[in-house]
Structure 1
Amino acid sequence: MTEPLSVPPSVWRNPWHFIAFGFGSGTLPKAPGTWGSLVALPFIPLWQMLPDWGYWLMLGITMLFGFWLCGKVAEDLRVHDHEGIVWDEMVGMWITLWLVPEGWGWLLAGFLMFRLFDILKPWPISWIDRHVHGGVGIMLDDVLAGVFAWLAMQVLVWGWVNGLAAGLGF
């Protein structure tokens, strides 16, 4: 097991580092990716107020921004993928919950689903995590974990809606 990396003081002085570290959540000593994923949740009700295409556009912008941001901060810190950089987890969570109904139950299900895929890293996520570097590499494994979790969430949503409709006699 590797030692956790220390928290760079620049997180509290440099706005790019602060954002990349999930507004400070990536500085927590245990499971920074989980904390970053939790910090993403309060944004979901705001994103859900957008039209579907607006949410999709927000995902594209935050992902492209993340390629740059994560690469810049990793380069500044001279660490390939500092565990405290959690912007990638935040975007992965936002992907997971696109087109998912509103409500805390759905947020919890999405959180658990994303963490499962982010931690287990099934193929091709594990391959990308090992072979793609820089800001794109930092982001892409979590983007893919978000896509896998999104697909699983859509199956849950579809099953819930169809099961509910069947239960009501529709």
Structure 2
Amino acid sequence: MTTLETGQTAYITRPNARFMLSHPAHLLAQGFGSGLSPVVPGTMGTLFAWLVFATLSVRWPGFFTQANWAIIIAAGFVVGIWACHKTGRDMGIADHGSMVWDEVIAFWIVLLVLMPASFSTQFWAFLWFRFFDMVKPAPINYFDRRFKGGFGVMFDDLVAAFYTLLLFALWRTL
């Protein structure tokens, strides 16, 4: 958000790298640049999450254990509330599409629960998570409307992650 010479407020509708790098909250909320994609930023943020999770888990398996991932995810959720709130306020749009940290944290939860899993299972998890995040079936749509600010941005994606994991749990029982 910037102030024009006329004293009016201009909202940032198309963020760029300069905006993202202007504050650590923006960098995090916009998924280290993955949310700046001009097309399907949420999908790009989820792909970023998948790549980071897989890379770190393979490269440093002694550190990126399930317990440590759980701590990272919990801390990432709390910090994400702040980062998304600050970024949304600075942009003038509470849940701008470029803010993808919510997808990152939620998809890490999906991967944490499903791993170890084949590439095919991870791919299907990616597709189902994106479906639930985009379509927002009840009660996701309720939470999306009800909760505002950073918490609202982060919370509805947790429900999409829950739906994804519920689908896999049901599939495995059949």
Cα distance in structure 2, aligned partners of 1:153 and 1:43: 22
Cα displacement (A) at 1:41: 0.6
1:123-155 CA-to-partner distances (Å, cap 9, x unmatched) read 111001111101000111111111111222334
Distance 1:109 1:134 in 2: 30
Please give the alpha-carbon distance, in whole angstroms, between the structure 2 residues aligned to 1:71 and 1:127: 19
Question: Which position in structure 1 is the counterpart of 2:68?
Answer: 54
Once residues 90 and 117 of structure 1 are traced to their aligned partners in structure 2, the CA distance between those partners, rounded to angstroms, is 14
Look up the match of 1:97.
111
CA distance in 2, matches of 1:83, 1:103: 30
State the alpha-carbon separation in 1 of the partners of residues 70 and 162 from structure 2.
13
Of all paired residues, the percent bearing the same amino acid is 33
Query: Are 1:10 and 2:19 counterparts?
Result: yes
**Alignment TM-score, normalising by the size of structure 1:** 0.81
Matches within 5 A, 1:12-161: 12-45=21-54, 46-47=56-57, 49=61, 50-100=64-114, 101-156=116-171, 158=172
- TM-score (norm. length: structure 2): 0.80
Quote the offset at 1:96 in angstroms: 1.5
Unaligned residue ranges in structure 1 (runs of 5+): 164-170
The CA deviation at 1:77 is 1.8
8 Å CA contact retained: 2:19, 2:26: yes
Provide the secondary structure at the position in 2 that maps to 1:6: coil
The Cα shift of 1:47 comes to 4.8
- Alignment length, in residue pairs? 156
Query: Retained in 1: the 8 A contact 2:28–2:80?
Result: no
**Contact 1:44–1:94 under 8 Å retained in 2:** yes
What SS does structure 1 have at the residue aligned with 2:113?
coil
- CA displacement, residues 29-85 of structure 1 (integer Å, 9 cap, x when unaligned): 111111111110112233584443333222211111111111111112222111100
Cα-to-partner distance string for 1:88-133 (whole Å, 9 max, x where unaligned): 0111111111221243222211110100110111111100111110
